[in-house]
Structure 1
Amino acid sequence: MRQRSLVCLLLALAVTASGCTVQRYWGGSSNTAGSGRASVGLVTKTETNPYFVELRNAAGAAAKAQGADFVALAGQFDGDNDGQVKAIENMVQQGVNTILITPNSSTGVLAAIDRARKAGVLVIALDTATDPENAVDATYATDNVAAGREQGAYVKAALGGIPPKLIMIDGTAGSTVDTYRHNGFLQGIGLADGAPEIAGRDNANGDQSIAQQKMENLLQRSTDINAVYTMNEPTGRGAYAALQARGLAGQVVMGSIDGGCQGVENVRDGLYQATVMQFPRKMAEQGVTAAVEYARTQKKPSGFIDTGSVVITDKPMPGVPSQNTDWGLQNCWGNK
C-alpha cells in the first residue's frame, strides 16, 4: 500500500508540473510489467467536455470491474498537444502497459506515441483516429465520415428538394474528427467543398460560446440560408442561439453529431432537427478489455473498430434510418 501511495503521489506531482489534470484508480501494484495485470492510462482532450467525462468514467468503471489499475489525464484545452505529449511521457515513466488516447491532433502526438510503443506499451486511439492510422496499434471510434454523411443525408432529405444555402460551423482546424465529419456531411448533402451553395463557414473548436459568436458574424454577411452543419452538439446550441436572436431558427434545417443526453433533449425541444449519436462508453469499455487481454496474453488488437452511429430525430425522413428521442434518451451518454 505504501508503494502504491508513493506512485500515485509521484504521478500527481509530475502531472501538476506538466499542466495536465489527473484522475486515478489503482487496483493493485503499479509494477505490472510482465505480471499479467493491466495498468491502463487514459489521455483525453479535456476533462470538462461531457463527452470525454463519459468516456473517462466508463473506462474507469471498466478497469475497476476487470481488476486493472487506471489513471486518467487530460490536456487543459481542446488542441493542447503539448499537454497530451507530457501525459503520455508521464504514463510511460509510471509503467502503464496500455495507453488509451483521444488525440487532440491526428499528427501532434505521434512522436510520443511512437516512443511509448517502442517501450512496449500498447497504444489504442479512442474516438479520434491518428494519421496515419497505423501510428497506434488499434482505434475504437465512430466512423466520423459515416456519421457526417448521415447528418448530411438527413439535412438534404429534410430540405425536400430545395437547393441548400448552407452555413458550416466546423470544429478545430486540422483535427481528424473535424475533417472527417465535414467531408462526410458534404458527401451526404451532395456538395463539393467550396461549392457556391456554402454561404459561409468558420471554426468554433467545439465550443458553444465561440459557435454563437461565429454564427453571429456569418449572419451579418447574409441571412439567406436554409441549412446549417454543426460539428458537435455544443456547436449546435451556440448556432441555434444566434439563429434565434435573428428570428431565423424556424426557417433552417440544422443537424449535429454527438448523442449526448442534452443533445437528444435539444432535438426533442426543436433546437435542431437531428443529431447523430455515437457511443463513447462502448469505445472505452472495448479499449479497456483489449488492455486487459494484452496484459494477460500479449495479444494486441489491430485496425479500425467502428463503434457505430445512429441518427436521432422526431422527424424521420425517407431513406435515412433513424431512432426517435425516446430511444435516444435511453441510449445517450451524460446526465439524463
Structure 2
Amino acid sequence: MAHHHTVRERCRRRRPRQGAALLVVGTLLLGAAACAGNQNSAGDNRTRKVTIGLVTKTETNPFFVAMRKAAADTARKNNAELIALSGKFDGDNEGQVAAVESLIARHVQGILITPSNTTGILGAIAEARRQGILVIALDTATDPANAADATFATDNFNAGRLQGAYVRAVLAGRAPKLFMLDGTEGSTVSRLRHDGFLSGFGIKDDSSAIRGRAITNGDRNRAQTATENLLQRTTDVNSLYAINEPVADGAYTALAARGLTRQVTIGAIDGACEGVRDVRSGKYAATVMQFPIRMADQGVTAVTDFVRKGKKPSGFTDTGTVLITDKPVPGLPSRNTDWGLRHCWG
C-alpha cells in the first residue's frame, strides 16, 4: 500500500502519457500552488497547504454540479485548493483516466472520484496510490472496493429497494406491468439500483411482469426516446423504474404525450430540489433522496485530515438514503416534500 510522500518528492515524479484527452470543467484556485510554495511550511501540518482533485462522471448532471460546489465550499473552509475535472459523458472512462493522470502530474495529495467504469479506472487509481496520493471514491465504489482507500457513497442497493417497495405498494394488489430504465451498461451503480428495485418490488429479473427495459446512460433525452420506443411495443404498463430523476423526467414526457401518466406509477432516485418538487406536483410518486453534498464534504475533509493529521480513512461510509413522498404507505418510512425541500442533497 502506498504511503504519503513529501511535496518535494512529488515534484520530481514523471508526467503522464502524452496525448491524453482531458476535459477540464473548472479549476478552483483557493491559495498558493503546490511544490515550491509548500516547502516553506511543510513542518506545520496544521496549516499545510492541501491540493485535492475531484473527478466526476460528467460536468452537467445536476448531481455532480452540486457535488462540485460542495467540494469547493469545503475546500475553501479548510484552506485547500480544489481542481475539478470530469469525463465528457456518463461512461467516459478514457476521459476520467486522463483526468487522474493530469492530477498526478499536478502533485495533488488526494483524489476524489466518481468512477464511470468501476474496473476501467483501476490502473490510474493504482498509479496515484503508488505515488502516495490518497484516493477516495464518491457516489460509486470501485470494483473491487479496496482499489480505493475509502468510499463515501449512497447504499445504492437500498436506494433501489426503497423505490421498488414503494412503487409495488402503490399498485395495491394489481398485477405489475413494468418498464425498467437503467443507467450505463456495466455500471456498478446501475446494477445495484436495478437489483435493489427488483428486490423491493418483489420480482426476479426474468419476470414476465417486466414489459420492457432500456439503457439510458442516466440521460433525460435518451430516456424519453427509450420510453417512446417501448410504448410503440405496448402501452399496457402501470409502473416504471427510473435510475435517476433526469430519466424519470424523460419517461414522464413520453408518457404524457400518450396520455398515460395517470395509469403509470413512476419512482426515481436522486432527491434534487427539482425532483422533490416533481413529487409534490404528482409527476412521480416518490423519489429516494441521496446526499452528494455530504459525500463531497466528507471526502474533502478526509483528505485534509490525512495530510495534516495523518488520519487515513478506510472502508465504506454510507452517506444516507431517504424516501420522499406525500403519500406514505404503511411499513415504509418516508419523509414528505416539505422535509425534502429543506434537505435536498444536503
TM-score (norm 2): 0.90
**Percent of counterpart pairs with the same letter?**
57
Q: What's the counterpart of residue 159 of structure 1?
A: 171
Counterparts of 1:274-289 in structure 2, within 5 Å, are 274-289=286-301
Q: Residue type of the partner of 2:134?
A: L
Q: Does the CA contact (< 8 Å) of 1:46 and 1:52 recur in 2?
A: yes
Post-superposition CA distance 1:209-255 (Å, at most 9, x none):
11011001001111111110000000000000111111111011110
The one-letter code matched in structure 2 to 1:209 is: N
Q: Is 1:246 matched up with 2:258?
A: yes
Alpha-carbon separation, structure 2, partners of 1:159 and 1:266: 20
Match of 1:226 among 226, 238, 245: 238
Residue pair 2:63, 2:272 contacting (<8 A) in 1 also: yes
Matches within 5 A, 1:71-220: 71-220=83-232
Residue 312 (structure 1) aligned to one of 324, 327, 331 = 324
User: Which amino acid is 1:183 matched to?
Assistant: D
Deviation at 1:30, TM superposition (A): 1.2
Query: CA deviation digits over 1:133-163, x for unaligned, max 9?
Result: 0010000000000000000010111111222
2:221 alignment partner AA? S
Counterparts of 2:225 and 2:82, CA distance in 1: 39
Q: Which moved more, 1:294-303 or 1:265-274?
A: 294-303
Distance of 1:172 and 1:81 partners within structure 2: 12
Aligned-partner Cα distance in 1 for 2:94–2:26: 15
Residue aligned with 1:314, SS: coil
- 1:10-45 per-residue CA deviation (whole Å, 9 max, x = no partner) reads x9xx99962443322232341258933321110001
Compared CA separation, residues 251 and 40, structure 1 to 2 (3 A): same
Aligned residue in 2 for 1:23: 27
Which of 46, 52, 63 is residue 58 of structure 2 equivalent to? 46
- Higher mean C-alpha displacement, 147-156 vs 37-46: 37-46
SS of 1:311's partner is strand
Unaligned runs of 5+ in 2: 1-10
Q: Is the 8 A contact 1:20 1:76 kept in 2?
A: no
Contact (CA 8 Å) 2:109, 2:133: kept in 1 or not?
A: yes
Which one has the bigger helix percentage? 1
Distance 1:254 1:220 in 2: 19
The CA distance in 2 between the partners of 1:256 and 1:262, in whole Å, is 12
Q: Aligned to 1:251, what secondary structure does the other structure show?
A: coil
2:182·2:216 contact (CA, 8 Å) conserved in 1? yes
Contact 1:281 1:333 (8 Å CA) reproduced: yes
> Are positions 1:322 and 2:334 aligned together?
yes
Give the Cα separation in 2 of the matches to 1:80 and 1:61. 26
2:262 aligns to what SS in structure 1? helix
Superposed CA RMSD in Å reads 1.9
Contact 1:312 1:322 in 2 (8 A): yes
Mapped contact 2:20–2:98 kept (Cα < 8 A): no
Match of 2:74 among 62, 84, 109: 62
Superimposed CA distance per residue, residues 52-87 of structure 1 (whole angstroms, 9 cap, x where no aligned partner) = 000000001000001112111111111111111111
Give the drift of 1:122: 0.3
- 2:34 counterpart letter in structure 1: S
Task: Name the residue aligned to 1:4.
Answer: none
Distance 1:166 1:235 in 2: 15
Letter of the 1:25 partner, please give it.
L
**1:294 Cα deviation (Å)?**
0.5
Secondary structure of residue in 2 paired with 1:223: coil
The CA distance in 2 between the partners of 1:146 and 1:226, in whole Å, is: 23
Q: Is the 8 A contact 2:21 2:95 kept in 1?
A: no
Q: Which amino acid aligns with 2:183?
A: G
Of the candidates 300, 303, 312, which is equivalent to residue 312 of structure 2? Answer: 300
Q: Distance in 1 between matches of 2:332 and 2:265?
A: 15
Partner of 1:264: 276
Question: Residue 105 of structure 1: CA displacement?
Answer: 1.2
- Conserved? CA contact 1:26–1:71, under 8 Å: no
